[in-house]
Structure 1
Amino acid sequence: MTAESTLVDTNLFLKPWIFIRGVPAMKFLPPEGPPEIAFAGRSNVGKSSLINALLIQKGLARTSNTPGRTQELNYFVPDGYSGAADDLPPLALVDMPGYGYAQAPKEQVDQWTKLVFDYLRGRATLKRVYVLIDARHGIKPNDEEVLDLLDKAAVSYQLVLTKTDKIKAAGVPRLISETLAKIAKHPAAFPEVLATSSEKGVGIEELRAAMLRAARD
């Protein structure tokens, strides 16, 4: 990467980002345009907090202590682009509904789940999914189900450990190694695990760089 491209990349995250659309069903998806990077994870894994940290905007993605608050595919893009074919943003970020638990009727939870899975299977502009794993709990059975689905859909994904400030620092390298061993059998998994803390700012720059590389691939 040249010095000039590094500056451009950095400026992308320094720009104001805006929420453009909440998608409750596939028919409401925006037209395919810029490369899309999506974030998935169990409810309350810290997706919204991580997105806010990545984009340096505290209240952009809504955070809540109530699992299942994010009920749609929420689209974010850097501000200042017209949306025309010759003036598309270089990247769109998608916050997906949490899986595994939600304080809502089962029918509604099933509807959210179907939306997410249909999106993963059918979006040509989706470049990578970042699957967030709470460092305190590691990979759970419902995470494994999502990884299997991503493998079957041949969607590139990378695991991101969240809330690493909540465990002992000495345990983070071991947790990364254990997580890498668990995903070794998954063909669509990117063979690198990122460790982050939204609260402490740990791993944010590394995740930004990974997102930009994935968008360019």
Structure 2
Amino acid sequence: MTEESAERARKLFAGPIEFLKSAPQLQHLPAPTVPEIAFAGRSNVGKSSLINAVTNRNKLARASNTPGRTQELNYFDVGKPLVFRLVDMPGYGFAEAPKDMVKRWRFLINDYLRGRQVLKRTLVLVDARHGLKDVDRDVMKMLDNAAVSYHLVLTKADKVKPTELAKTVEAIQAEAAKHPAAHPLILPTSSETGDGIAELRTAIMEAVTS
């Protein structure tokens, strides 16, 4: 990451960002006219908090103490004129949700990830305290099969000792190397301290403009 690219990313995210719409089904998606960056992750991984940190807004994405609150694809327009869109996806792996609801979420996520041509990059969020779970690996395999490029982003990195974090990053890096669609760079972040947020903004900007 160069200082120039980091500054360009900072300015982009400091500009206009607005909620566009929620899409409960694929037919409700906005027209595929600009690049999209999707945030995916297990319920309670800190997805909404990370989106708020990246966009430097307090309440753009609705953070909740109730896992699984996001049940639709939530779209946010970045830039005016419009440059790209962020997509907040329903959390996956929420065991306490009704089975038919989990099934609907899974179909929505799978169909979106596999069929959206303007999707430039998926950010697969992983809790730094727990590392990769089988449900994350399922999503990674699906993205590999669909040839959708993705970044593994560690959340809540401030909750882990630096030595443990380094081991977790190393283990995930080794696993990511076996996945053809995984980006080699692992991004540890913290919504609370701001660590890694500039790097994540830059990675998003580079994915959109590449």
| Structures share fold, TM-score greater than 0.5 | yes
Show CA shifts across 1:110-136 (max 9, x none). Answer: 111101110001101000000000000
Matched ranges for 1:92-171 at <5 A: 92-101=85-94, 103-171=96-164
Residue 79 of structure 1: how far off its partner (Å):
5.5
Residue 8 of structure 1: how far off its partner (Å):
4.5
> What letter is aligned with 1:127?
K
- Equivalent pair of 1:129/1:156 in contact (CA under 8 Å): yes
**What SS does structure 1 have at the residue aligned with 2:162?**
coil
- Equivalent pair of 2:74/2:89 in contact (CA under 8 Å): yes
**What SS does structure 2 have at the residue aligned with 1:170?**
helix
Question: CA 1:202 to 1:8, structure 2 compared with 1: closer, same or farther past 3 Å?
Answer: closer
Aligned to 1:184, which of 177, 181, 189? 177
Gaps of 5+ in 1: 82-88
Show CA shifts across 1:137-187 (max 9, x none). Answer: 000011111101000000000100100111112222221111111112111
- Equivalent pair of 1:43/1:102 in contact (CA under 8 Å): no
Partner of 1:195: 188
1:46 aligns with 2:39: no
- State the distance in 2 between where 1:163 and 1:4 align: 27
Residue 7 of structure 1: how far off its partner (Å):
5.2
Superposition misfits of 4+ residues, deviation over 3 angstroms:
1-9
TM-score by length of structure 1 reads 0.92
Residue 10 of structure 1: how far off its partner (Å):
2.7
Q: How much is the aligned-residue C-alpha RMSD, in angstroms?
A: 1.8
Percent of aligned pairs with the same amino acid: 55
Aligned to 2:83, which of 76, 87, 90? 90
Aligned residue pairs, count = 210
- Equivalent pair of 1:68/1:102 in contact (CA under 8 Å): no
